[in-house]
């Protein structure tokens, strides 16, 4: 049985739906820039109830997804478990996955964060939009910064700052 790595990066989205590919594409960037075996990378089309089990024995979890609701190129925030409406659908929110973990394990999930990358076109068969390509590069730089400092306190501080900055200029 393989040893569980302490950091999980979970990107999700559909490569055939334009900017919905941002999560999986950022995983590719990260995979090419990190030390092999330093983090576990998981990719799927969408979050499902079974993904709660992937949180077991982790110190930090980073979810990555495309979003139309970002204030800037990307948003970064800490997640809390939540029993939201996605709980009963085929695709779940990260907060709902945390809630399932908490329910089945009877303990709090590990610290989990969400890096949302702004997208604008999600039609089946469309390519990544030019704006999304730019956002992907900026989110990739930010993700590298996170992975250079895989510490929950550092990430929490960055998440607090992210709430107050729209463009994430560093």
Task: Identify whether 23 is part of a domain.
Answer: yes
The domain of 55 spans 7-164
Task: Identify whether 169 is part of a domain.
Answer: no
pLDDT in tens, 65-74: 999 999 899 9
Task: Identify whether 144 is part of a domain.
Answer: yes
pLDDT in tens, 10-50: 999 999 999 999 999 999 999 988 887 889 999 999 999 89
Residue 128's closest CA among 2, 50, 28? 28
Percent of residues, the chain, with pLDDT higher than 90: 76
Task: Identify whether 70 is part of a domain.
Answer: yes
Q: pTM, whole model, 2 decimals? A: 0.91
Antiparallel, parallel or unpaired: β 60-67 and 112-118:
parallel
Task: Identify whether 170 is part of a domain.
Answer: no
Q: What mean pLDDT is predicted for residues 116-144?
A: 94
Give the model's pLDDT for residue 165.
Answer: 65
State the average pLDDT for the chain.
89
Q: Look up the CATH number of the domain holding residue 29.
A: 3.40.50.1450
Task: Identify whether 13 is part of a domain.
Answer: yes
Counting the structural domains of the chain, the total is: 1
**Residues in a beta bridge with 113:** 62, 78
Q: How many CB atoms lie within 10 A of CB 87?
A: 16
């Amino acid at each position: 049985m393989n040893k569980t790595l302490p950091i999980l990066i979970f990107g999700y989205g559909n490569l055939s739906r334009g900017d919905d590919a941002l999560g999986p594409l950022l995983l590719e960037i990260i995979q090419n820039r990190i030390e092999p075996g330093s983090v576990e990378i998981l990719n799927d089309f969408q979050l499902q109830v079974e993904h709660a089990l992937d949180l077991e024995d982790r110190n930090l979890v980073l979810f990555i997804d495309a979003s139309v609701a970002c204030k800037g190129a990307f948003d970064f925030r800490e997640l809390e478990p939540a029993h939201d409406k996605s709980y009963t659908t085929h695709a779940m929110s990260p907060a709902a996955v945390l809630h399932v973990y908490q329910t089945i394990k009877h303990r709090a999930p590990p610290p989990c964060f969400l890096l949302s990358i702004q997208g604008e076109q999600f039609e089946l068969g469309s390519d990544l939009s030019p704006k999304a390509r730019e956002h992907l590069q900026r989110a990739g730089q930010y993700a590298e910064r996170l992975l250079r400092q895989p510490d929950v306190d550092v990430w929490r501080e960055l998440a607090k700052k992210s709430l107050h900055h729209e463009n994430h200029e560093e």
